[in-house]
Amino acid sequence: MTEIFVYRPNWKENLRVEYLLETAVSIAEDFSEQRRVLSSTPKRKFSVTVQERDLDAQKLVNFLKANIYKVVYLPIRNEELSATEAWKTKTVLSTVETTTYYWDLRNCDYLVLEEGDLREVKIISSVGANSVTVTVAVAGDFTSAAKAYPAILTTIENMSNNSPTSAIFRSNLEFLEYIE
């Protein structure tokens, strides 16, 4: 089962987004370099910082150790969508306006729904001005207090730790978009 990255990176501090194209390089008879594109869609690489304290810091360390190089859902947490009604058994999720977001939901394939400890991931089918349509109906009992976040399927590619004290864990992470 694919995990959801439940921690909140600081998207405002040191966020770096890169676009990577996969290519194959070959050498021609005249020794010139030739590149062939392997994927028509560039992958996005996100570099962010995450900081947690005490017990949450230990949980983050364990999560990273267990999921390094594995596929995880990365919610764009600064782009929170609020429900305007309960979402149980729905495929069209009514939300506050969806058109004012920096990342634009159309750049994300997934939607992470959250309410308390209840979480669910859905594939986005389409986005309207005040709604998001998902491919399969919501199974969880989400009320109008639920939040949703656009999400990208990624792998955690790199991490470097800088912990100023034993009670604080700070890590610089790189997430590479996973394209099937």
Q: Where are the chain's structural domains?
A: 3-177
Backbone phi and psi for residue 91, each to the nearest 5 degrees, phi listed first = -110, -20
> What's residue 125's pLDDT?
86
Name which of 81, 88, 83, 93 is nearest 125 in CA terms.
93
- Rounded CA gap, 86 and 140, in Å? 10
All residues at 6 or more sequence positions from 49 whose CB lies less than 8 Å from its CB, including other chains: 9, 10, 13, 14, 170, 171, 172, 173
Mean pLDDT of all residues belonging to the chain = 83
Question: What one-letter code names the amino acid at 33?
Answer: E
Residue with tokens 């109906």: 137
> What's residue 121's pLDDT?
92
pTM: 0.79
Provide the 10 A C-beta neighbour count for residue 146. 24
Calculate mean pLDDT across residues 147-175. 83
> What's residue 172's pLDDT?
85
Q: State yes or no: pLDDT of 102 exceeds 60.
A: no
> What's residue 69's pLDDT?
87
C-alpha distances in Å from residue 164, one per residue of 49, 51, 122, 161: 14, 11, 37, 10
> What's residue 166's pLDDT?
66
Comparing 101-115, 134-148, 164-178, the range with the smallest average pLDDT is 101-115
Calculate mean pLDDT across residues 61-67. 88
Q: State yes or no: pLDDT of 112 exceeds 60.
A: yes
